[in-house]
């Protein structure tokens, strides 16, 4: 398999799907001539033309609103928000319209649209351009929420998202765009709602998302030298959530640490912890611990931003706590 960066893998997914289905179009701020602020849509304008790759005004409500209408009328839009933080001005279009139309029309309406958006801290973009807001979208029935951590998963999950007949929120952590990995050429899909065990282990389950998957894998390498066997589970999609893979892992290891970059309070980890407490409590040999960001805006100061982002050291400390190490 060729090696691609995370951004290149997403670009390849666009190309594969747009070549396959002429109903797919791309829209967003600077997605055409500029190729996207992070290069994900580079070259699509030249290949597919301005009818199918459209630069838009700086109006998120219009980007999402037109996508909802186009999807209801039979197209398959893939729209990009530069930063997920900007969704506030388009929330009605997303959670009140896109997410509810199929239900309100008795299943007769289809809204096959994908909203791609960057998330996460690490580039000094400060409080209004660095948030992880996946828990917001998880809370809305009718939305699917996807959060890949590797180039292979990014391509396969985006293809699956584009082909899905429901609205999908596809979240891409900024710090992953340059991460490289092996990616199949051509067409393949990774199913939505299926977690992946990135590393098998026996002593503790670590459920991690996006960039935190890589932090967890690095922590697991270090912990193995101390004789601690860590199983790393990447949900890949947060809604639908693959509860059974997580529960099976906890039943095996009897311990759970959840790691995400969202703030800890009411984050996705709280839902995962509640599911395990309700359905696998008797298997737990230690309290469930969460490693997450503090309940604060993301700071601009580089030194404070580093402290805000959950660290590999915090993961190691949490694992040692639940294993009694």
Catalytic residues: 129
How many whole angstroms separate alpha carbon 147 and alpha carbon 149? Answer: 7
Helix (H/G/I), strand (E/B), else coil: 191: coil
Cα angle 233-179-292, degrees, rounded to a multiple of 5: 45
Question: 20-49 burial, b if ≥16 CB within 10 A, otherwise e?
Answer: eeeebbbbbbebbeebbbbbbbbebbeebe
Beta strands in 30-167 (DSSP E): 53-55, 76-81, 114-119, 144-146
Sign of CA dihedral 99, 100, 101, 102: positive
Q: Are strands 76-81 and 204-208 parallel, antiparallel or unpaired?
A: unpaired
d(CA 236, CA 194): 7
Report DSSP letters for 104-131, one per residue.
Answer: HTTT------EEEEEE--SSS--TTS--
Distance CA 26, CA 80 (A): 8
Q: Is 139 helix (H, G, I), strand (E, B) or coil?
A: coil
């Amino acid at each position: 398999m060729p090696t691609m960066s995370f951004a290149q893998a997403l670009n390849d997914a666009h190309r594969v799907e747009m070549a396959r289905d002429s109903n797919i179009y791309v829209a967003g701020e600077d997605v055409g001539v500029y190729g996207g602020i992070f290069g994900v849509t580079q070259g699509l304008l030249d290949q597919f033309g301005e009818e199918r790759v459209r630069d838009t005004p700086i109006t998120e409500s219009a980007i999402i609103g037109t996508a909802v209408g186009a999807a209801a009328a039979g197209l398959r839009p893939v729209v990009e928000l530069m930063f997920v933080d900007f969704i506030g001005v388009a929330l009605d279009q997303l959670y009140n319209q896109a997410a509810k139309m199929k239900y309100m029309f008795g299943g007769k309406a289809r809204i096959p649209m994908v909203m791609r958006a960057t998330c996460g801290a690490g580039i000094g973009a400060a409080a209004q351009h660095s948030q992880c807001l996946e828990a917001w979208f998880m809370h809305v029935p009718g939305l699917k929420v996807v959060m890949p951590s590797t180039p292979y998963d990014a391509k396969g999950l985006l293809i699956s998202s584009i082909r899905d007949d429901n609205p999908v929120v596809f979240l891409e952590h900024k710090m992953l765009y340059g991460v490289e990995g092996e990616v199949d050429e051509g067409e393949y899909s990774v199913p939505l709602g299926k977690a992946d065990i990135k590393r098998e282990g026996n002593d503790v389950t670590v459920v991690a998302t996006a960039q935190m998957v890589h932090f967890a894998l690095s922590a697991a390498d270090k912990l193995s030298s101390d004789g601690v066997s860590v199983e790393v589970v990447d949900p890949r999609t947060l809604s639908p959530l693959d509860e059974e893979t997580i529960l099976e892992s906890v039943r095996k290891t009897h311990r759970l640490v959840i790691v995400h970059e969202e703030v800890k309070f009411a984050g996705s980890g709280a839902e995962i912890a509640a599911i395990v407490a309700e359905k696998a409590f008797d298997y737990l040999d230690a309290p469930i611990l969460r490693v997450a960001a503090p309940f604060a805006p993301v700071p601009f100061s580089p030194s404070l931003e580093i402290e805000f982002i959950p660290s590999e050291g915090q993961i190691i400390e949490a694992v040692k706590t639940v294993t009694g190490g």
